Structure 1
Amino acid sequence: MARVVLVTGVSDDFAARCARSLAARPGLEVVGVDLVPPRRPLEDVSFVRADVRSPVLAGLLVSREVDTVVHLAPLVVRGGSRRSRAADKESNVIGSMQLFAACQRSSRVRSVVLGSTAEVYAASARNPAAFREDAGLRGGPRTAFAQDCLEIESYARSLPQRRPDVAVTVLRLGPLLGAGVRSQLTRWLSGPVVPKAAGFDARLQFLHPADGAHAVTRAVTHPEPGLYNVAAPDVVMLSQLLTWLGRPAWPVPRPALAALRRPAARADLTVPDDVDGITFGRVLDVRRVAEALQVRSHWTSRSAAEEFIALTSPGVRSHIVSVAQRRLGAGRA
């Protein structure tokens, strides 16, 4: 008998990719759920239009005999929500509480996989070389999105206290980067200039969506309860990345960077909510996921960046270099 996996948030490209990856595995039947239809075909995934806050979802778990729930809906907000803070919290935190309550009531549910974020680790000048899963979250997360994700994690991790037979796996995902990724991070890097904190050169670590989908799939097919960091093993400096992109930095005093967010938007520039992350950087220790889940990234941070750059319009520096090379070549001819 096929296992039935329910995936939330499939209007998002990454969640949809995870759903398709799961559906491609033999013995798995996948149901995708969201209030908004996906932008691309889900292929072998059965789509149900529903809200995670709706009582309909509890009935869906029972009627479809779902045994595994993959909750990725909270990550959709990081892609760029235009809703109010209250609406985001209602959808993410309250919706997650209701989803986990429905899982608790359904006797068939045996596994829950939650997609969380590396942003729960507060970036600062006191960053360790790499954050381990057992690192204390001193100072607390800096963004509202990260606060929500940490609260959702607490509800998910408390589920086995009421249902000891349910395995809960939490994946703290690094920033997604690669072809087609749409996020605050990619909008920030795609502007004509890139606002950054003056005097800082952040250590950046990325996650290619293919590796993220592989980690989610592995967590479903080989359930191993626990908390895991998921990211590429290498690090790229912000200055390196801007050089590859051919985009000039716009150094701004760090205290003013967050205040620049709205004025920058009017100039078609983006300043991410995670100002501390783009100032100090945030690097994850990924040894635990490799050992326990046998998940190793095929894409490095650098190769994920190179794929993104290959499909991004050249920056002004790249254009200047290209013009100079053409003129130099013409002069020699």
Structure 2
Amino acid sequence: MSDDALNADASTQPRSVLVTGASTFLGGYLVARLAANPSIERVVAVDSRVPRKDLMRRMGRAEFLRLDIRRPSVAKAIANYNVDTVVHAAPSIMDSVGHSSAIKELNVVGSMQVCAACQRSPSVKRLILRSTAQVYGASAGDPGRFTEATRPTREPRGGYGRDLIDVEGYVRGLARRRQDIDVTILRYQSMLGPRVRSQMGSYLSMPIVPSVFGFSPRLQFLHEEDALAAIEYATINPSPGTFNIAGDGVVSLAQAVHRSGHVQLPVLSSLVPPLVGVLQDGRLPVMRSSHTPYLSYGRVVDNTRMRTELGFEPKYTSMQTLDDFIARGKTSPVITAGTWRELEGRAVATATALQ
């Protein structure tokens, strides 16, 4: 349990919490942290997939229910356990097989059922949604930083961004219909860490990284530990509203590839997805054409409200997140620091000789 959670006012802490997506990194580890909090009477973990054995052990006293949130059974679970706080961490954003019709159904239809169940339940007083900064899209006309009130220049037409735009709409609709329910939406930036599988993490782990020729996108990262701490903090500390969750600072794609010791391969935008598929050889999350705008223009969010209104402070900057991912991840540099020094020495010697 984090220090922030321990410092929360006991009168505001939830008594009975239901967490969806218990087999995922965020959902499963959140359940483990909440179960370790003696102020919370009951923690209910929900997922259609059984969590790994080690993750299940971490959950301790939490009760696991294997059920599909796309079905009305989630409403029965909320009623049976007299749930007052629902943490909806199930929407898929980083699935290892990429976005599909089945994932879209889980994201959209599952969220509709969760919102409907909360609306019918007299015990539910809070709903926390794990969303994504992908709802802002990516285009040439984007602002330098997206605030929570900024409308996307070009809304995503598909993929996770489109799914979560719809999901956020259902959640806000719930807040209008049940004004006694506090709704918190957390828009996460790209997560990196050795324990979480994300498309950006897999992309940066490639020895040869295809990029869009002529573009140097600005990126922003969120450490897996900060991602977990943020959703725990929001669960323990009531803070209705929408919040961008991201580390400070900006990292260009060229910087990220250089620091990892990998090789950047600039190509036409239409060639990036197929090249990624060939180089990954089906072993890592796929990159689809919907990702090319992000790899061209990047995306940076303003995290001021995260600090001033939510009250959460991340421990890692974007650069520190990247460096920790490189240091503790499973990536191996193609070009070592020694190689870079040797190439730099040759360049200097050649430039001197030409003078």
Under a length normalisation based on structure 1, what TM-score does the superposition of the two structures give? 0.90
1:26 matched to 2:38? The reply is yes
- Provide the residue aligned with 1:197 in structure 2: 212
Looking at structure 2, the residues matched to 9 and 267 of structure 1 have their Cα atoms a distance apart, in angstroms, of 25
The residue matched to 2:222 in structure 1 has which SS? coil
The residue matched to 1:73 in structure 2 has which SS? coil
Looking at structure 2, the residues matched to 249 and 271 of structure 1 have their Cα atoms a distance apart, in angstroms, of 18
1:59 matched to 2:71? The reply is no
Which residue, 13, 19, 40 being the options, matches 1:7?
19
- Provide the residue aligned with 2:351 in structure 1: none
User: CA RMSD for the aligned pairs?
Assistant: 2.3
Native 8 Å contact 1:192 1:269 kept in 2: no
Q: Which amino acid aligns with 1:11?
A: S
Looking at structure 2, the residues matched to 141 and 267 of structure 1 have their Cα atoms a distance apart, in angstroms, of 25
Deviation digits for residues 253-296 of structure 1 (CA, Å, limit 9, x no counterpart)? 12332454544444867663322222211011000111111011
Looking at structure 2, the residues matched to 47 and 53 of structure 1 have their Cα atoms a distance apart, in angstroms, of 17
Looking at structure 1, the residues matched to 145 and 266 of structure 2 have their Cα atoms a distance apart, in angstroms, of 26
- Provide the residue aligned with 2:317 in structure 1: 300
Which residue, 276, 298, 303 being the options, matches 1:281?
298
- Provide the residue aligned with 2:308 in structure 1: 291
The residue matched to 1:233 in structure 2 has which SS? coil
1:79 matched to 2:91? The reply is no
1:132 matched to 2:147? The reply is yes
- Provide the residue aligned with 1:316 in structure 2: 334
For 1:162-177, list aligned pairs within 5 A.
Answer: 162-177=177-192
- Provide the residue aligned with 2:85 in structure 1: 68
Looking at structure 2, the residues matched to 157 and 13 of structure 1 have their Cα atoms a distance apart, in angstroms, of 25
- Provide the residue aligned with 1:182 in structure 2: 197
- Provide the residue aligned with 2:238 in structure 1: 223
1:35 matched to 2:53? The reply is no
Deviation digits for residues 129-158 of structure 1 (CA, Å, limit 9, x no counterpart)? 110000012321254211011100000011
- Provide the residue aligned with 2:9 in structure 1: none
Under a length normalisation based on structure 2, what TM-score does the superposition of the two structures give? 0.84
The residue matched to 1:282 in structure 2 has which SS? coil
Native 8 Å contact 1:257 1:271 kept in 2: no
Looking at structure 2, the residues matched to 189 and 43 of structure 1 have their Cα atoms a distance apart, in angstroms, of 31
Looking at structure 2, the residues matched to 43 and 263 of structure 1 have their Cα atoms a distance apart, in angstroms, of 38
Distance 1:2 1:204, change over 3 A: closer
The Cα of 1:11 is off from its aligned counterpart by 1.0
The residue matched to 2:191 in structure 1 has which SS? coil
Native 8 Å contact 2:75 2:117 kept in 1: yes
Looking at structure 1, the residues matched to 64 and 324 of structure 2 have their Cα atoms a distance apart, in angstroms, of 30
Deviates most, 34-43 or 196-205? 34-43
Looking at structure 1, the residues matched to 267 and 172 of structure 2 have their Cα atoms a distance apart, in angstroms, of 40
Distance 1:270 1:113, change over 3 A: closer
The residue matched to 1:250 in structure 2 has which SS? strand
Q: Which amino acid aligns with 1:279?
A: S
Q: Which amino acid aligns with 1:5?
A: V
Native 8 Å contact 1:264 1:270 kept in 2: no
Looking at structure 2, the residues matched to 51 and 195 of structure 1 have their Cα atoms a distance apart, in angstroms, of 38
For 1:136-175, list aligned pairs within 5 A.
Answer: 136-175=151-190
Distance 1:216 1:313, change over 3 A: closer
Paired-residue identity, %: 38
- Provide the residue aligned with 2:10 in structure 1: none
Distance 1:100 1:302, change over 3 A: same
Q: Which amino acid aligns with 1:173?
A: Y
Looking at structure 2, the residues matched to 216 and 231 of structure 1 have their Cα atoms a distance apart, in angstroms, of 12
Where does structure 2 lack aligned partners over 5 or more consecutive residues? 1-12, 344-355
1:115 matched to 2:127? The reply is no
- Provide the residue aligned with 2:272 in structure 1: 257
Native 8 Å contact 1:191 1:269 kept in 2: no
Deviation digits for residues 20-45 of structure 1 (CA, Å, limit 9, x no counterpart)? 23233331232111111112233333
Distance 1:293 1:149, change over 3 A: same
Native 8 Å contact 1:68 1:109 kept in 2: yes
Native 8 Å contact 1:195 1:271 kept in 2: no
The residue matched to 1:37 in structure 2 has which SS? coil
Distance 1:152 1:267, change over 3 A: closer
Looking at structure 2, the residues matched to 194 and 202 of structure 1 have their Cα atoms a distance apart, in angstroms, of 14
The residue matched to 2:17 in structure 1 has which SS? strand
1:236 matched to 2:254? The reply is no
Deviation digits for residues 194-216 of structure 1 (CA, Å, limit 9, x no counterpart)? 11111111111111122112221
Deviates most, 227-236 or 19-28? 19-28
The residue matched to 1:317 in structure 2 has which SS? coil
